[in-house]
Amino acid sequence: MSTYLLRRLFQALVLLLIVSAVGFSILHLAPGGPLSQFAAGGEMTQADLDRIARDMGLDRPLPVQYAEWLWHMAQGDWGRSYRDQQPVLHIIVAHLGATLELMLTSTLIAMALGSWIGILGAMRRYSLFDSLATIGAMIAVSIPTFWFGLVVIWLFSVTLGWLPAGNRYTVGDGSWLNQLHHLIAPSMVLALVSTAVWSRYMRSSMLDVINQDYIRTARSKGIPERRILFRHTVRNALLPMITIAGLQLPTLLSGALVTETIFTWPGMGRLFLDSINYRDYPVVMGILMFTAVLVLLGSLVADLLYGLADPRIRLA
Amino acid sequence: MIPAQNPAAAAAPVLRAAPRRRLRNPALRRFCRHRLAVFGACAVTLLTLLCIAAPPLLPYSDTFIDIRARFTPPGGSSAHLLGTDQLGRDMLSRLLMAGRISLAVGFSAMLISMVIGVCVGLVAGYYRGVLGTVLMRFVDAMLCFPSIFLLLAVSAFIEPSVSSIILLIACTSWMEVARIVEGQIRALRERDFTLAAHAIGAGDARIMFRELLPNAVAPIVVAATLNVAHAILAESYISFLGYGIQPPTPSWGNMLDNAQTYLESAPWLAILPGAMIALAVTSFNFIGDGLRDALDPRMEGR
């Protein structure tokens, strides 16, 4: 296990370096580079721009700038926002809670609902339920999240008036019931794609396990079907889903951005969009790097958990 | 003996077999059995034809502003079949013109991303070693960035136009293809026919493009179809958020941009363009699924 752990950690570290290089390149190779927000006004002369470039250290060779940038990033100095001079990392962390709350809730919904659909679909393969679930999953991943969000708002907020159309809580009402009420619609919207993906992988994983020898052995031993299903099949079928949960992270983050925009949810995605509107590049780059690192860590943790849960993996 | 045979009798079995010959191709037969895929193919064809041919035939152009007729609901007026928007522009006309842009973005972005993805995958899978490892780790790193974040971050730097949006989407969606191609090529280059090609003195480029690539075409075609779906969806996302195709050029995404404002009074402004996106994307996904079953029968029903 320790060799596996070390190798996996080393891979993640290498990947982190490449990710940081890609992020740095996007910032610097984009037309205008980090200076573009100064040049955009048109009031600055070339001499002014040169001076700013020198002050910001932008006249030095790129590898030197990259090394320095990386060193600052590693120390937690992610720069300061152009808008209010707050440290970038501080701003991101302040908005992280709302996003995590949304992502966690919708992941729980997706896991519960998706597993149930996947298991039932695999047990009754090619039944009406299975076909409907297949078509439904295909449609669910094809619908734009923002559109589904608009339809949910139109139906549940505008027409029926059951759910609030946005925000995390009603101003002046801090009760958890109120927060929960506000959480329902956005987490439902965000969970749609994950539920569909989860159900497909769960079904596929169930079908893999059902054909294994040990299921046949269990059946020939005379173990009741229910017990085979839950103790043998589902338990083993859930193992590869740990990886899927890790792989879902980028999709989930992208979905969160859109969902937060529609439901005026004060999370990281909305902060990202606001920062783009204000041309607040340090925050934009900070969030871009932050999400990439989050995805990287997510897949690392998923792999390690999979290794812990399934002893067969550690040998590979 | 042979000249004495009745020509009609000899032709008869051929004639009877003729209708079946059309579907002798097993892949085509499997594709046609996949009803959803056939539906998808029909829907895409119909949608594309409508978007290309229909706009000039409609009574109102997509840019004609009829301020007195604004917010006409669908079916509310015989002249505006699908109603009008907040400026009184004909929705049907706008939807079809937007379809031209959205479908064009989808197809063009797919083509470019396939070229990038296939080339990277081919080189990485064929040469392996340091070059292959570096390329594939770069692919891994690119995949760490959530696609919408990456799209928005870069689109904030550039001047938005149809061609820059196409390039942008292509540059952020080639990685999956590269992974698929790399895996295929890695396996194929171990096969005997690659050795044989080497033995007759074929160069690297010839082996890659003439021997290996044609053998990997099935998963590439599937990935290409799914890539169109992805590109249409990506365009709609960034246009909806205001960084994609800029008005007055309509696209399905930017038609939804300010629809949220009128959600209460004119829900069709939000529902119709979204339904078009959903229809187009679902159709391409259905086709991709059908192609996967048709071209790789082992995966059927999974």
CATH number of the domain within which B198 lies: 1.10.3720.10
Token couple for B246 = 């800029």
Determine the Cα angle at A259 with ends A85 and A252, to 5°: 90
**Spacing of C-alpha A32 from chain mean position:** 30
Is residue B61 domain-resident?
A: no
Question: Per the CB < 8 Å rule, is A272 touching B152?
Answer: yes
Whole-number mean pLDDT of chain A? 84
Looking at the structure, give the CATH architecture of the domain made up of residues A90-309.
Answer: Orthogonal Bundle (1.10)
Token output for B122: 């081919």
Does residue B160 form part of some domain? yes
When scoring A147, A202, A257 by the number of chain B Cβ atoms within 10 A, the one with the most, hence best to mutate, is A147
* A53-76: average pLDDT: 80
Residue B17 covered by a domain: no
* Structure confidence at residue A42 (pLDDT): 61
Rounded to whole angstroms, the Cα distance separating A36 from A26 reads: 13
Backbone angles phi, psi at A279, to 5 degrees: 55, 40
Residues near A64 by beta carbon (within 8 Å), at least 6 away in sequence: none
Neighbouring C-beta atoms of residue A158, cutoff 10 Å: 14
Q: How many CB atoms lie within 10 A of CB B153?
A: 24
* Facing residue for A15 by CB, picked from B141, B158, B260: B141
Instruction: Test B144 with A276 for CB contact under 8 angstroms.
Output: no
Looking at the domain assignment, is residue B287 inside a domain?
yes
Is A209 within 8 Å of A237 (Cβ atoms)?
Answer: yes
Give residue limits of the domains in chain A: 90-309
Question: Looking at A26-40, A163-177, A266-280, which range is the least confident one?
Answer: A26-40
* Inter-chain contacts counted by CB atoms under 8 A, chains A and B: 146
Distance from CA of A208 to the nearest CA of B (A): 10
Chain B positions in Cβ-Cβ contact with residue A30 (cut-off 8 Å): 154, 157-158
Do B43 and B275 form a contact (C-beta atoms < 8 A)?
A: no
The whole domain housing B178 covers 26-56+92-299
- Residue B149: CB partners within 8 Å, gap ≥ 6? A253, A254, A257, A272, A287, A288, A291
Q: Phi/psi zone of residue A126: left (φ > 0), alpha (ψ -120 to 50 degrees), beta?
A: left
Examine residue B229 and state whether it is found in any structural domain, yes or no.
yes
Q: Nearest by CB to A146, from B146, B149, B240: name it.
A: B240
**Can you read off the two tokens belonging to residue A156?**
């549940």
Q: Is residue B79 part of a domain?
A: no
Number of neighbouring beta carbons within 10 Å of residue B1 = 4
ipTM attached to this prediction: 0.84
> What is residue B12's predicted lDDT score, i.e. its pLDDT?
42
Q: Is A273 helix (H, G, I), strand (E, B) or coil?
A: helix
Question: Would you give the end-to-end CA distance of chain A in angstroms?
Answer: 10
pLDDT, averaged per 10 consecutive residues of chain B (302 residues), comes to: 42 44 71 84 91 77 71 70 73 87 93 95 90 91 90 81 90 92 90 89 87 88 92 91 84 82 80 90 91 70 42
In DSSP notation, A64-85 reads HHHHHHHHHHHTT---B-TTT-
pLDDT score at A40: 58
Is the alpha carbon torsion for A85, A87, A89, A92 positive or negative? negative
In this predicted structure, the answer to whether residue A112 has a pLDDT above a threshold of 90 is yes
Lowest mean pLDDT segment, chosen from A155-164, A265-274, B68-77: B68-77
Which residues, in sequence order, are CB contacts of A245 under 8 Å at separation 6+?
A107, A111, A302
- What does the alpha-carbon distance between residue B277 and residue A150 come to, in Å, rounded to a whole number? 14
Burial class (CB in 10 A: 0-12, 13-18, 19+), A42: exposed
Cα-based angle B253, B255, B256 (whole degrees, multiple of 5): 70
CA distance B132 to B52: 42
What six digits make up the tokens of B85? 């928007």
Contact A150, B259 (CB under 8 A): yes
Number of domains in chain B: 1
CA distance A289 to A307: 27
Please indicate, yes or no, whether the overall pTM of this predicted structure exceeds 0.90: no
Residue A190: the pLDDT is 92
pLDDT at A195: 93
| The pLDDT value given to residue A123 | 87
Q: How far is A250 from chain B (nearest CA, A)?
A: 4
- Torsion of Cα atoms, A224 then A230 then A232 then A233, to 10°: 110
